[in-house]
Amino acid sequence: MTSTLKISSLTKRFDGVAALTDVSLTVAPGQRVALLGHNGAGKSTMMKIILGLIPATSGKVEVLGAAPGSAGARAGVAYLPENAAFHPALTGEEQLRHYLRLRGESPSQALSLLGRVGLGHAARRRIGTYSKGMRQRVGLAQALIGHPKLLVLDEPTSGLDPVSRRDFYALLDGLAAEGASILLSSHALTEVEARTDRILILARGRLVAEGTLADLRRVAALPVAMTVTARNGYANTLAEALPGARIDAAGLLHLTCAQESKLSMLARIADFGTKVADIDVVPPSLEDIYSHFSQREGQ
Amino acid sequence: MHRILATAGTEFRIALRNRWVAIAIVLMTLFALVLSAAGSAPTGGLGVDRLSVTVASLTSLAVYLVPLLALLMSFDAIAGEVERGTLPLLLTYPVARVEIVLGKLAAHVAILALAVGVGYGIAAAAALAVDPDAMAGLPALWRLGWTSVLLGATFLGAGYALSALARRPSGAAGLAIGLWLGLVVLYDLGLLAAVVADDGGWFTTDLFPVALLANPADAFRLFNLSASDATAAASGVGGAAAAIPLWQSALSVALWPLVALALATSAFRKVTP
């Protein structure tokens, strides 16, 4: 089957100011793709173009083989806006029944959908009384209506506690297994870690990195940090033998080395035998990798 | 069609919760009762039944009240969705903008029809209770009823258009009040001043009738007054009403809701979420 979403050379300008510049990407059926970037990097703009809410300045966008915002595209695409909002006078159930009818589905599914996102108990309360996290779940419930082929989720986990966040990703795994493509945005790499197949990083409207977490790690080639604990009295001996090492107040040795020389460095330290009490290897953190890509451009 | 009905159902429920249904019914009832009571004094000598007199009073009232109610219900319709942030999500659903407008219109027209029906029904009951001849006024009351609903639909559409243009509820409210003042109050004053200044010239004979037909509120008044000749005495535009054929005012009353709907839809199409 062809790709669910295909974007080529997409550019969007607001009054001459570039919001997106020459962005190209494809999303295959069943793929979970995370779109990362700072506030103002262009994530929401890109999503709105995919949904057909705003037009692109130039470039080509194809959603389920149709133009964004066309009847065919809208029938197969679900959206969860950032800070999902609903009419406060309606109950969660009434709001979902409304959305179900708009999609031509049976309104009787409302309660089971709310149950799936853990809101069954509050279905008959007005949305005006809901917390932010609960509104976000109503938003998620409406995005599940009618087995969409593409889910566009704008910062879906903001306002969710860690447990609900895990439940949310479990739900997405189920949808992706059924063949739905998922494009979700976030501004934290730690949040999407291991729950998405592919990561895209946007910075100032440009796509600066793309790939799996392992790909990004490799391309960024950030140094590995090591902390060595020497046996009593040997700290200085070790520090002299290891170039670039420094001793902190607690007597621990800190050093860094390139990704590819990690093993040889470990072997050298192991050669000291009983002079070494312990060793910790700290790979570059997800935040380090993310900062590396999102700040490189335009600095 | 099912999407229009779904939207209408939800909008009606929201209006019920926001007490707009109750407010509209209570307002119309109250005014109908006041007019029925006030209209009781001068009837005897005219040789007209009580209900026809009440209809004349109700016409003058409806021309102010129905547009006001319609604008109050509609000014928030699109600007409110923009402000709450509910519009982007709604527009990603497979529903056309014209379907959203039609759904809201159906719900609000239903509320207006309910309020008008209850209010006029009470006025009719009050007239029938004291004057057995009042049955003669029922056709005029029926005519007033459906034209009131059409007048309401016109101003609902205009309210949606202003709501889409303003994009903020506060701005839309200001525009709605401005439109009401302009079309319902100042327009007639302006025409009156022009007629007086013109003193029977070209303006009075040629432009004045067209100007009356061009305003939905005036066309409504004109149609109801010229259709029931017994009430001509009750209005200052009585003379003009006689000069304009009935079909022209009827056409204006019937066309305006469609024009307003077209304006609302095209204004809504220009809203970028």
pLDDT digits (tens, 9 = 90+) for A106-158: 999 999 999 988 888 999 999 999 998 899 999 999 999 988 999 999 988 87
The pLDDT mean for chain B works out to 86
A5-218 CATH fold: Rossmann fold (3.40.50)
Count Cβ atoms within 10 A of the Cβ of residue A143 and give its class: 0-12 exposed, 13-18 middle, 19 or more buried: buried
Flag whether pLDDT at A184 surpasses 50.
Answer: yes
Query: What percentage of chain B carries pLDDT values higher than 70?
Result: 90
Closest C-alpha among A95, A79, A77, A99 to residue A87: A95
Flag whether pLDDT at A297 surpasses 70.
Answer: no
Q: Which of A74, A83, A87 sits opposite B94 (nearest CB)?
A: A74
Flag whether pLDDT at A24 surpasses 70.
Answer: yes
| Nearest residue of B to residue A74, measured between CA atoms | B94
Q: Which CATH class is domain A223-283?
A: alpha beta
What residues of chain A, 179 to 238, have a C-beta less than 8 Å from chain B?
none
User: What pLDDT band is residue B241 in, cutting at 50, 70 and 90?
Assistant: low
User: Hey, is the C-beta of A94 within 8 angstroms of any chain B C-beta?
Assistant: yes
- Measured distance between the N- and C-terminal CA atoms of chain B, rounded to whole angstroms: 24
Q: Which residue has the higher pLDDT, B236 or A28?
A: A28
Q: How far is CA B208 from CA B3, B180, B250, in A?
A: 43, 20, 17
The distance from CA A279 to its chain's CA centroid, rounded to whole angstroms, is 32
Contact residues on chain B for A90, CB-CB shorter than 8 A: 10, 13-14, 17
What residues of chain B, 53 to 92, have a C-beta less than 8 Å from chain A?
84-86, 88-89, 91-92
A22: left (phi over 0), alpha (psi -120 to 50) or beta: left
Shortest CA gap B149–chain A (Å): 26
Q: What angle do CA A279, A280, A284 make, to 5 degrees?
A: 145
Q: Which of A54, A84, A103 sits opposite B272 (nearest CB)?
A: A54
The phi, psi pair for B70, rounded to 5°, reads -65, -45
Is the Cα dihedral A86, A89, A91, A96 positive or negative?
Answer: negative
Q: How far is CA A136 from CA A86, B180, B234, in A?
A: 10, 40, 59
Shortest CA gap B145–chain A (Å): 31
- Dump pLDDT digits (tens) for B34-64: 888 776 555 455 557 778 888 888 888 899 9
Average pLDDT on B155-160 reads 96
Closest C-alpha among A102, A11, A18 to residue A49: A11
Q: Which residue has the higher pLDDT, B18 or A190?
A: B18
Which residue out of B10, B13, B20, B271 would a mutagenesis test of the A interface target, given it has the greatest number of A Cβ atoms within 10 Å? B10
Task: Collapse the DSSP code of A281 into the 3-class scheme (helix H, G, I; strand E, B; otherwise coil) and give the result.
Answer: strand
The answer to whether A207 touches A7, Cβ cutoff 8 Å, is: no
Q: How much is the pLDDT for B233?
A: 47
Q: For chain A, what's the residue count?
A: 299
Which residue out of A49, A98, A129 would a mutagenesis test of the B interface target, given it has the greatest number of B Cβ atoms within 10 Å? A98
Task: Determine the Cα–Cα distance for residues A10 and A22; give it in Å rounded to an integer.
Answer: 5
User: Hey, is the C-beta of A86 within 8 angstroms of any chain B C-beta?
Assistant: yes
Which residue out of B93, B98, B104, B270 would a mutagenesis test of the A interface target, given it has the greatest number of A Cβ atoms within 10 Å? B93
User: Hey, is the C-beta of B269 within 8 angstroms of any chain A C-beta?
Assistant: no
- Dump pLDDT digits (tens) for B106-146: 999 999 999 999 999 998 888 888 877 778 888 888 999 99
Residue entry with tokens 């050298």: A268
Average pLDDT on A210-224 reads 85
User: What pLDDT band is residue A225 in, cutting at 50, 70 and 90?
Assistant: confident
Where in chain A are all domains bearing CATH 3.30.70? 223-283
Contact residues on chain B for A76, CB-CB shorter than 8 A: none
Q: pTM for this one?
A: 0.86
Count Cβ atoms within 10 A of the Cβ of residue A297 and give its class: 0-12 exposed, 13-18 middle, 19 or more buried: middle
Q: How much is the pLDDT for B158?
A: 96
Q: Which of B6, B84, B85 sits opposite A102 (nearest CB)?
A: B6
- Dump pLDDT digits (tens) for A255-289: 888 888 888 888 888 888 888 888 888 888 878 88
Tell me the residue range of the domain where B234 lies: 2-269
Q: Which residue has the higher pLDDT, B258 or A264?
A: B258
Name which of A110-119, B122-131, B180-189, B196-205 the model is least confident about: B196-205
Are the Cβ atoms of A87 and B84 closer than 8 angstroms? yes
Where in chain A are all domains bearing CATH 3.40.50.300? 5-218
User: What pLDDT band is residue B232 in, cutting at 50, 70 and 90?
Assistant: very low
